Amino acid sequence: MVKLHFLGAYRNFGLLIVRLGIGLSFVLHGSPKMFGGPPVWKDIGTAMRTVGIDFAPTFWGFMAAFAEFGGGIMVLLGFYFRPAVLLMAITMAVALNMHLSKGDPFSVYSHAMELGIVFVSLLFVGPGRFSIDGE
Band of residue 53 on the pLDDT scale cut at 50, 70, 90: very high
- Asked if 74 and 50 count as a contact pair (C-beta separation under 8 A), the reply is no
In angstroms, the CA 122 to CA 83 distance is 11
In angstroms, the CA 122 to CA 11 distance is 13
Band of residue 9 on the pLDDT scale cut at 50, 70, 90: very high
* Between 8 and 67, residue with greater pLDDT: 67
76-126 pLDDT tens trace = 999 999 999 999 999 999 999 999 999 999 999 999 999 999 999 999 999
For residue 125, the model assigns a pLDDT of: 95
User: Residue 8: is it exposed, middle or buried by C-beta count within 10 angstroms (0-12/13-18/19+)?
Assistant: exposed
For residue 134, the model assigns a pLDDT of: 74
